[in-house]
Every structure is written in C-alpha cells, then in structure tokens.
Amino acid sequence: MVVSIKNLDKFILILLSYVVLIDMINGFFMMEFSKILISQFFKLLILILFFLRLSTTKYFSVVLVLFFAFQIGAIFGLLKTGSFTNFNNDMVVATKWFNVPLSFFYFKTVLKTYNTDYLMINRVNKFIIKSFKFLSINMLIGMCGFGMAYYNHGYSNAIGTRGYIYAGNELTILLLAITFPIALNYYLNKDYKKFFLLFGLTLFYAFLMTSKTVLGGVLIIFAIPPISQLKFRIKKKWIDYFILFIFIGIPVLCYIFYLGITKMGVVDKITHSMQRNNNEILTVILSNRNNFIKNGWEVFVEEYNWIEKFFGLGQSYHLQLSGHLAEVDFFSLLFASGILGLSCLILLVLYWLFISYKLMRLGRNYAKATFVFIFFITIISNLSGHIYGSGIAGYFIGFCIALMYYKTEFVKANG
C-alpha cells in the first residue's frame, strides 16, 4: 500500500507532538529504575521519517551532505582509536548536530507545501501547543518535589528543578524554542492578554529552573515579537505606553525578579558558583566555559594533525584528552567534527539570516521575528552551548527558523 505524502506528514506531526512526553517518560525510568532507550528509539524513528519525507524534495542532496559532514569525524575517530563504544557515542552526538538543520528543512517543506491548507497548518499549531502543555506538566511535577534538580552540587546544594527531562542543559532552550512561536502568534494576532499571561507563566518556569541563561532568554524571547514589528513612525500612544512601562512595568518586573531570585534558589546557586570558582566573576558568568575552551583548544592545536583538524575525530576522543566538553557550540562542534563541521554550521546560519532578511524585505512578519531569533540563538549558543547541538530541542529550533516561510498569520491563536 502506498502512503501519501500528506498522510506521512500527519503521522510525523503526531509523533513530534509527543516527543516531550516521551523524554519525560524516559527520564522517569532513568531516575526510578534503570536506563532504557525509549527516547532514543523514538527519535531514531522520527529521523528515518524525516529522511523519507525529504527524499522527495530538492533539499535531499543538501541534507545528505550535511549528514556526512557531521558524521565523518566519528568515522575518523573509529579509525584512530578502534573503539566502537566511542564510535557509537560520537554517532549519537553527531546526529544531534544534524537535528536542527534536518528539522528546518522538514518544516520548511511543510510550511511551503501546506501554506493554504488550514487543517494541516492547524496540525502544526497543535504540535507546538501540545508540546508546551507537556512541558508545563513536567515543570509542575518538578515544583511538587518530583524529578531531578537542575543543579546538583551534592544533595545539600541541589537547586532548581528539571522535572523528569533528563537533559537539563537542553531544557533551557527547549522552553525558549517552544514558547517563541506561541508568543509570536499571540502578538501578531494582537492577543496581548494571552501574550503577557504566557510571559508570566514562562518566567515562572524559568525561576523553577534557576538557570541564568533561561532567565535572560525569556526576556529576550518575549521582546523579539514587538521589536521585530517596530516601524520608524512614532505614534503618541507608543510614547504613552513607554512612559507607563517605565513607571509601572519596570518596577513590577524588578520586584518579580527579586522575589524569584531570592525565593527560588538563584542566589544560592550564584553563591555556590562564586565559592567554587574562587570568586572569579567571568568564570561564574560563563559557568567555567572559558577554561573549558582554553583546555580544549590546546588539545585541538597540539594533538591533531591537519587532516584530523579538518574532519575531526569525534567528541569522545577529544573529551578523553581535554577532560571536559567546551559547552560552547562553535568550539564543541570544531573539536568534534573539525573545520568541516563548523564551516557547515556557520554557512547554515548565514543562509538562514540571508533568506530571512530577503523575506523580511517582502514584509513577512514571521521572517522579521525569525531574523532576530537566529541572531539570538547563535549568540546564546556561544555563551551557554547545547543549542545547535541539541537533541529534543532541535526539532523546535528548526521549526522556529522555518517560520520565516509562513506568509501570513501562523494560525489564529487559540488557548
């Protein structure tokens, strides 16, 4: 029986709707029982279906080149070390780097193919809304004392919560990437009550995590929709709103941040980090990533020949020599997939910026916001890492970037 392209897309969107829930279930079993591969098999199925779907498009050759570019480092690593354990780990890591561009090309195809098909676009909408609901359930479970701490420097220093989503580093960008299209949709549809309600709820989740990155990220994500839609004409009502924000909005926001920082463990986390890093402010701000990069760069320059520098040797080999991941995306990718892998990512980012700029000049509202979003995640990926190399969040990042191709409103905001 031949499966139609449309039915395949429906099936993929249904699977994507449950990816957050599957990760929660996976984390629950890892914490309460033993490690199982539910999430890995689920993501492998989605990967195969993405490949199958894109094989019918003109982007498939580009997808294959990117897959090869990110994976070849793992192959060179196997030839050098002979370790199939490292090879398996490196293949998984390389697939994560491939996840964002693969998801981008899939959602680009969907949004361009079904641009006037309300029912299919509504399925895309439901995929995002359902994912946010599952993420909300996860955070509320964590608030009730279940799941894992976000930071765990020993039991007495356990701070924040990630619920049952095991990959705490990815939870930050997962929250931001799921929230962004919903917030943008509310704003473009002038549903400002829901927009600010979503802001408050997302900020609450950020305080539950106690991560510096997510706290700042929430403010930026919700600033992108209004900033991206600014016009140069100044209206009197804008001045009134600005004055109102200065005298009422900022004090209220500062008070909310004061309560969140003091009552939810953020101060405790910063204090512990200062003590652990000998009160070096830069190291605390960067969570020691400046030292990780320094050590990793020395290994890359001194231990790799030019062929290994170009193709990489996989993450495991570099990790064994340096002792720690760089946790900054461009450097992490360079150390794992070499100059080739990093060049591919940089070219992709430039391509996304160029296309979103072209569409922005045509008056596409979503392209305007996407242009700013790409700048934001690229900057944050080189401050906190785990963005472009994200597993579960990669689907949503790819979707956010592909939103530039939607011509009008995504779909009327619904609760």
| pLDDT at 411 exceeding the cut of 60 | no
22 in Cβ contact with 167 (< 8 Å): no
Residue 254 neighbours by CB under 8 Å, 6+ apart: none
Radius of gyration from C-alpha coordinates of the chain:
22
Query: Token pair of 270, please?
Result: 């910063």
Confidence grade of residue 210 (pLDDT, cut at 50, 70, 90): confident
| pLDDT at 3 exceeding the cut of 70 | no
What pLDDT shows up at residue 11? 95
| pLDDT at 301 exceeding the cut of 70 | yes
What pLDDT shows up at residue 19? 95
| pLDDT at 134 exceeding the cut of 60 | yes
Which H or E run includes 93?
helix 84-113
CA–CA distances in Å: residue 403 to residues 28, 227, 341: 32, 17, 25
Long-range contacts of 214-220 (CB under 8 A, 24+ apart): 214/171, 214/172, 214/175, 214/176, 215/257, 215/260, 215/266, 217/172, 217/173, 217/176, 217/376, 217/380, 218/175, 218/176, 218/179, 220/376
What pLDDT shows up at residue 243? 54
How far from chain centre, in Å, is Cα 141?
A: 22
Mean pLDDT for the stretch of residues 8-30: 92
- DSSP 8-state code for residue 248: I
| pLDDT at 414 exceeding the cut of 50 | no
3-state secondary structure of 146: coil
| pLDDT at 176 exceeding the cut of 70 | yes
Distance CA 287, CA 268 (A): 15
| pLDDT at 200 exceeding the cut of 60 | yes
What pLDDT shows up at residue 285? 52
What pLDDT shows up at residue 324? 82
Confidence grade of residue 262 (pLDDT, cut at 50, 70, 90): low
| pLDDT at 2 exceeding the cut of 80 | no
- DSSP 8-state code for residue 42: H
| pLDDT at 235 exceeding the cut of 60 | no
Distance CA 366, CA 100 (A): 19
Distance CA 145, CA 230 (A): 42
What pLDDT shows up at residue 248? 61
Query: Token pair of 387, please?
Result: 């963005």
Q: What is the pLDDT of residues 352-387, one digit of tens each?
A: 999 999 998 888 889 999 999 999 999 888 877 788
The mean-pLDDT minimum among 236-250, 289-303, 349-363 falls in: 236-250
Between 231 and 123, the higher pLDDT residue: 123
Mean pLDDT for the stretch of residues 290-299: 83
Smallest CA-to-CA distance from 132 within 399, 375, 364 is with 399
Query: Token pair of 296, please?
Result: 């990793």
CA–CA distances in Å: residue 297 to residues 87, 281, 385, 390: 22, 22, 16, 22
Smallest CA-to-CA distance from 402 within 183, 108, 173 is with 108
Mean pLDDT for the stretch of residues 126-150: 89
What pLDDT shows up at residue 9? 95
3-state secondary structure of 367: helix
- DSSP 8-state code for residue 163: B
| pLDDT at 30 exceeding the cut of 70 | yes
Q: How many residues does the chain have?
A: 415
What is the average pLDDT score of the chain? 82
What pLDDT shows up at residue 326? 80
Mean pLDDT for the stretch of residues 193-222: 88
Confidence grade of residue 413 (pLDDT, cut at 50, 70, 90): very low
Question: Packing angle between helix 212-228 and helix 168-188, nearest 10 degrees?
Answer: 20
Cα diameter, the chain: 69
Mark out the alpha helices in 245-288 (DSSP H runs): 250-263, 266-276, 281-285
Neighbours of 240 (CB within 10 A): 10
Q: Which of 132-146, 258-272, 319-333 has the highest mean pLDDT?
A: 132-146
Question: Packing angle between helix 192-209 and helix 212-228, nearest 10 degrees?
Answer: 160
Mark out the alpha helices in 144-191 (DSSP H runs): 168-188
3-state secondary structure of 115: coil
How far from chain centre, in Å, is Cα 259?
A: 27
12 in Cβ contact with 46 (< 8 Å): yes
| pLDDT at 97 exceeding the cut of 90 | yes
Confidence grade of residue 282 (pLDDT, cut at 50, 70, 90): very low
What pLDDT shows up at residue 325? 83
Q: What is the pLDDT of residues 40-95, one digit of tens each?
A: 899 999 999 999 999 989 999 999 999 999 999 999 999 999 899 999 999 999 99
Smallest CA-to-CA distance from 175 within 150, 192, 157 is with 150
11 in Cβ contact with 55 (< 8 Å): no
Distance CA 135, CA 20 (A): 7
Q: What is the pLDDT of residues 244-255, one digit of tens each?
A: 555 565 555 555
Confidence grade of residue 284 (pLDDT, cut at 50, 70, 90): very low
pTM of the predicted structure, to 2 decimals: 0.85
Q: Which of 9-23, 197-211, 224-238 has the highest mean pLDDT?
A: 9-23
